[in-house]
Amino acid sequence: MIKCISGYNMRFYFSISVLSVWLLMVILVPVMDLHPNSIVLEKILKTADQNSIFGYDDLGRPLFDRLMAGAYTSFTVAFGVVLVSLLVGTSIGVISAYAGGRWDHLMVRIIDIFMAFPGILLAIALSGLMGPGITNVIIALSVVGWVGFARLSRAQVMSIKQSEHVLSARSLGASHSRIIIYHILPLTIAPLLIELTFGIASVVIAEAGLSFLGLGIQAPEASWGSMIRDGSQYLLMAPHMVLVPGIALMMVVLAVNMLGDSIRDMLDVKR
Amino acid sequence: MSGYILCRIFSALIVIFGVVFIVFMLIHMVPGDPVEVMLGESASSVDREMLRQTLGLDKPLTEQFYQYLYKLSQFDLGTSLHSKQPVSELLVERIPPTVELTLAALLVAFLMAFPLGILAALKKDRWQDTTAMTFSLLGISIPNFLMGPLLILLFSIMLGWFPVSGRDGLISLVLPALTLGTALAAILSRMIRASLLEVLNEDYIRTARAKGLGTARVIGLHALKNAMLPVVTLIGLQIGALLAGAVITEMVFSWPGLGQLTIESIQKRDYPVVQACILLISTTYVIINTLTDIVYGVLDPRIRLSR
């Protein structure tokens, strides 16, 4: 038992510290003296020096500065999408399950239809048609993202609304909004929290994927995905162009996945 | 039994209808005038009117939708704005490479996931388990647009074993299939581990062991067969992710499949082709999911009776 707890704790603290460091750096980006778009022709494809610890890209821009600017983009999109999806998805899911009947039936069908689009395919189509830009990326990914939260919160509320404490609140004359906010929502937080952490990881990957395809953040703004795409043209001469944003992306996604895993294990009473 | 199958097919048809509606609406969700987006601001008003008429955008929305449905029922997906070829011809050319890539990725996933998952379950909480599950976590965390360039760097550029890109024989299939299959292998190996662990505690496994059967026979003949149900469902669900992942993988390796056609058409703003690609991939996904559900119901009577 003790061994198990320490195992979860180790993963939990590792992922929390990796994410906190990134979060801190992202918060500090606006006050850092970064020049992600400054071009120095003599430094094209050069490796690290005292001005840029990660080297330079194909236009002679410092990779460290671009990595930080890319992190800022990634986290902004991730928080934006997860917030919009959480608010929209949970509201729809909770209300639909609580109301029940025809509305719930219709909602289930709509959720099924959105789930029929595999992965980020719908986001690729939407952001491709709407054009690049951070707002369009957030919209496109939210159109895909709300479904997970809606389905999860609906399933939660379906079982909670039958429980005795909700029945007694109702018999005491509590209003629907009071029952939802004080007696149902608090019980859905734990599973939504797990979905939220995995959601952040998938949004970070999806944003980078869209930018990799040239459908996400518009050049010259930095994004990890577009940095990886630019770098894959120069794999032979400057592998650091792919490795730097690639390792950063992998670290963040790995940390978020481990965090989600350890939260799930901690909340799982069966273990 | 037939009631269960009919019910699944009926709900699949409703979902496909919804998918058709969303794909139809895609063109109307674009902010501004879709014709201007397609042709650019510099196009003459005569060209714009012509395109508007060709796409039927000058008619009321409901009439447009009826026409779209009617054409779909005739398997008429329209004409490419760019190459002027019928869209169905373009799709037929691109389907075989994508099917080839998806099947190869599935094979890669099986070959990696089964040994890893079985090993992890047999050696639970030992170093073999930790290593296998760390690999699996890494596999989930490396997106294929990063895995692709990394594999190219190692196996094509440094070792020179495989071609960098293109579709030229079986050898060119290896890296794209590895790229696409690794993430599935990672998820699958976790699932195999989890469902094997559940089965390994059952009484009939103890009986099999007590009879003196070797580990290989216990796993192969008794445990795996019963642990396969959730794994089969997962494979069905993941084929959709595989199809979406193929879009990015095909771009990394210049693989001439449906995914590459989708992205190229988005870049060229060739709406009819984009709509057809999204529709084809999503419908395939719905059909595969429905088949998985039906197979699951056939294999396990508890599922169909519970509904």
Asked if the structure places residue B42 within a domain, the reply is yes
Asked if the structure places residue B281 within a domain, the reply is no
Asked if the Cβ–Cβ distance from B278 to A113 is below 8 Å, we say no
Residue of chain A nearest B288, judged by CA positions: A116
Asked if the Cβ–Cβ distance from B29 to A130 is below 8 Å, we say yes
| Residue B58 CA from chain centroid, whole number | 35
Tens-digit pLDDT profile for residues A4-34: 455 667 888 988 999 899 889 889 888 888 8
Provide mean pLDDT across the span A56-67.
85
Residues of chain B positioned with their CB less than 8 A from the CB of A257? 137, 140-141
The alpha carbon of residue A135 is apart from the nearest alpha carbon of chain B, in Å, by 13
Assess whether B29 and B158 both reside in one domain: no
How far, in Å, CA of B8 to CA of A269, rounded? Answer: 35
| Residue B145, both tokens | 């647009």
- Report the range of poorest mean pLDDT among B152-156, B206-210, B238-242, B274-278: B238-242
Assess whether B120 and B248 both reside in one domain: yes
A100 versus A168: the higher-pLDDT residue is: A168
Query: Of A121, A131, A250, which has the smallest distance from its Cβ to B146's Cβ?
Result: A250
Domains identified in chain B, total number:
2
Assess whether B99 and B37 both reside in one domain: no
Q: What is the pLDDT of residue B185?
A: 92
Asked if the structure places residue B80 within a domain, the reply is no
Q: A269 pLDDT band (50/70/90 cuts)? A: low
Question: ipTM score here?
Answer: 0.83
Tens-digit pLDDT profile for residues B89-115: 889 999 999 999 999 999 999 999 999
Of B230, B256, B282, the residue at which a domain comes to its end is B256
Assess whether B132 and B239 both reside in one domain: yes
Q: What is the pLDDT of residue A7?
A: 60
Assess whether B66 and B211 both reside in one domain: no
Assess whether B166 and B36 both reside in one domain: no
Assess whether B175 and B214 both reside in one domain: yes
For residue A247, CA distances in Å to A110, A242, A243, B109, B207 come to 38, 8, 6, 23, 48
- Residues of chain B above pLDDT 70, percent: 97
Residues of chain A positioned with their CB less than 8 A from the CB of B184? none
Mean pLDDT computed over every residue of chain B: 85
Assess whether B99 and B51 both reside in one domain: no
Asked if the structure places residue B119 within a domain, the reply is yes
Assess whether B140 and B239 both reside in one domain: yes
- Report the range of poorest mean pLDDT among A57-61, B104-108, B181-185: A57-61
How far, in Å, CA of B57 to CA of B27, rounded? Answer: 10
Helix (H, G, I), strand (E, B) or coil at B213: coil
- Report the range of poorest mean pLDDT among B29-38, B132-141, B157-166, B210-219: B29-38
Asked if the structure places residue B278 within a domain, the reply is no
CB B277 within 8 A of CB B91: yes
Asked if the Cβ–Cβ distance from A232 to B278 is below 8 Å, we say no
Asked if the Cβ–Cβ distance from A228 to B26 is below 8 Å, we say no
Assess whether B56 and B99 both reside in one domain: no
Asked if the Cβ–Cβ distance from A112 to B19 is below 8 Å, we say no
Provide mean pLDDT across the span A203-219.
88
Buried/exposed code over A26-41 (b: 16+ C-beta within 10 A; e: otherwise): beebeeeebebeeeee
Assess whether B202 and B104 both reside in one domain: yes
Q: Per-residue pLDDT for A271 more than 60?
A: no
Residues of chain B positioned with their CB less than 8 A from the CB of A15? none
Asked if the structure places residue B168 within a domain, the reply is yes
CB B27 within 8 A of CB B278: no
CATH number at B243 reads: 1.10.3720.10
Asked if the structure places residue B301 within a domain, the reply is no
Assess whether B133 and B30 both reside in one domain: no
A16 versus B53: the higher-pLDDT residue is: A16
Asked if the structure places residue B176 within a domain, the reply is yes
How far, in Å, CA of B22 to CA of A154, rounded? Answer: 23
How far, in Å, CA of B184 to CA of B117, rounded? Answer: 12
- Residues of chain A above pLDDT 90, percent: 28
For residues A254, B173, B272, B264, the Cα torsion angle rounded to the nearest 10 degrees is 70
How far, in Å, CA of B124 to CA of B113, rounded? Answer: 16
Tens-digit pLDDT profile for residues B113-164: 999 998 998 888 889 888 888 888 888 889 889 999 999 989 988 898 998 8
A56 phi/psi in degrees, rounded to 5:
-130, 160
How far, in Å, CA of B239 to CA of B243, rounded? Answer: 6
List CB contacts of B66: < 8 A, sequence separation 6 or more: none
Q: Comparing C-alpha atoms, which of B95, B25, B28 is closest to residue B262?
A: B95
Per the structure, the complete domain to which residue B164 belongs is given by 95-256
Provide mean pLDDT across the span A73-86.
93
Q: A94 pLDDT band (50/70/90 cuts)? A: very high
Residues of chain A positioned with their CB less than 8 A from the CB of B18? 109-110, 112-113, 116
Q: Comparing C-alpha atoms, which of B95, B127, B125, B130 is closest to residue B246?
A: B95
B34 versus A197: the higher-pLDDT residue is: A197
Q: What is the pLDDT of residue A1?
A: 42
Q: Per-residue pLDDT for B243 more than 80?
A: yes
